[in-house]
Structure 1
């Protein structure tokens, strides 16, 4: 969240995944590290692992969003073509009815 305040553009899904993964990993690593007596090292290791995992998950989610957007564009194009053809058919029917 702190990073998003300083950015001029919204974070991508990949970047959000990396941020959340880093924060979650650091927190979990600190908890585990404190149990073993080294919270700082645990937080650092957890942050690195969380960054990697969060970025990978965010990347997969971003790819899926991009695929969904491409399918939606195709559907919109096809719907526009269907509507055009329906108008054309209606016009032909009116011409035949004369």
Structure 2
């Protein structure tokens, strides 16, 4: 640094090396700050990914549970349909037997 006689403050003029060093220090501080910000963003992104994975796993579990419920309901509907068909067949047989019994009773 060069002192200027009569200047209101010392070191008014700086050598190129001094200017370079100051610029270098500012850039190093910016780089350090950017690296810290980058690390913080990476942590935040990782946390978001984990939350996303957890949310996806919860939704998949809910979907699996829903699929199982739907499957059980379909089985129950099929069972009830089969029972209704058997009941309808039984009613047809009963009506048929009742008709035949009426015919037989009429003959007696």
TM value normalised by structure 1: 0.58
Distance in 2 of aligned mates of 1:36 and 1:64: 45
The structure with the larger Rg is 2
Distance in 1 of aligned mates of 2:31 and 2:44: 20
Task: Give the Å deviation of 1:36.
Answer: 6.4
| 2:76 maps to 1:96 | yes
Query: Structure 1: 5+ residue runs without aligned partners?
Result: 1-34
Deviations 1:12-50 (A, max 9, x none): xxxxxxxxxxxxxxxxxxxxxxx9644312221111111
Q: Which runs of 4+ in 1 moved over 6 A?
A: none
TM value normalised by structure 2: 0.53
- Map residues 1-98 of structure 1 onto 2, 5 A cutoff: 37=14, 38-97=18-77, 98=79
**What RMSD, in angstroms, separates the aligned Cα atoms of the two structures?**
1.8
Which structure ranks higher in relative contact order (CA pairs < 8 Å, sequence separation ≥ 6)? 1
SS at match of 1:64: helix
Query: Structure 2: 5+ residue runs without aligned partners?
Result: 1-11, 80-108
- Structure with greater helix share of residues: 1
Count residues with an aligned counterpart. Answer: 64
